[in-house]
A and B are shown apart, each in its own frame.
Chain A
């Protein structure tokens, strides 16, 4: 079984990350890295990953737009925190409205069930009463229609005044 660690592997990593590999290192470390399987793997992996790190960082500089600034991140975080807080505060209110609406609906349904017999008897009584007064109502309606026909211009003027009054009040208030 091969050894998992080498006491010098951190030296190799530091040399590559510090851009000292291979020219800035002593011969002894270079010879060790070529002979030690652990350090050889470390060298292969560190060189590849560090090159990729540098290339990816260069990509960021070459693309058309930079990373958002610290100020932008802070600002967006602040606004989002505020929105989250508002949403969290509104949640119990929404629940409260929902419960209140359910209570009202339940109350109405119960009331309707309890009051329905008395409403039904009142409707029957009104039906009998309406049957009794219908002839008298017909006579009153005929008289009213005759009066309206006789005073039609006056009725039209009154209706026009009723329609124009709110508009006049609105215009007067708007100018003020």
Chain B
């Protein structure tokens, strides 16, 4: 079906309709966006290793959140739901045929840290971390990032990733062991250096 072009009047009507269609009003959305946009963007950037793609996925994530019919008990609940959408978007992107997408984290590629204006050691650490993260499974990356970069609780991570809290603890422990092994200089074969 062809592209639907909206007139100016329709665009204005759309804003009125949005107030009725979306489960939150514009003021609530602004407050929630200011609180969550940066951490979610950082999460998407680290999960995809592509800041441009993260920009697109961020917008898509908020659109899906606004269109969802779920009623949220609190901002924390809404935030967890947003992270779940973001995680699913990353996984969906990963599942697309390779020709259609930019490569995500890849152990053989070393994504150069953007804005490498900081000290060399810091940049090298980031490269090490990128390489180490690339060796983990996507779910392991997500849970480690949420737990140790963003400080989410086990319950929140389980909610985001659709896991049971009891099984998350074991999975998180295993992923943490692997990443720590990859990051430690004397980690032998598993090390990234």
The yes or no answer to A17 lying at the interface (CB within 8 A) is yes
Q: What's the count of A-B pairs with C-beta under 8 Å? A: 150
In the complex where A81-B17, A87-B1 touch, is A4 in contact with B170 (Cβ < 8 A)? Answer: yes
Would you call B15 and A77 a contact (CB within 8 A)? no
Q: Which residue of B lies closest to A62 (CB)?
A: B115
The yes or no answer to B163 lying at the interface (CB within 8 A) is no
Would you call B148 and A82 a contact (CB within 8 A)? no
Number of interface residues of A (CB under 8 A): 47
Would you call B148 and A50 a contact (CB within 8 A)? yes
- CB under 8 Å from chain B, chain A span 68-103: 68, 70-71, 73-83, 85-87, 90-91, 94
Q: Which residue of A lies closest to B38 (CB)?
A: A57
Selected interface stretch from B71-79, B80-88, B93-101, B176-184: B176-184
> Is the contact region of chain B dominated by helix, strand, or loop, or is it mixed?
helix
Selected interface stretch from A39-47, A135-143, A153-161: A39-47
User: What CA separation (Å) do A168 and B17 show in the bound complex?
Assistant: 49
B 164-180 to A, binary, CB cutoff 8 A, 1 in contact else 0: 00000110010011011
A residues apposed to B, CB below 8 Å: 4-5, 13-14, 17, 38, 40-42, 44-46, 48-53, 55-60, 62-63, 67-68, 70-71, 73-83, 85-87, 90-91, 94
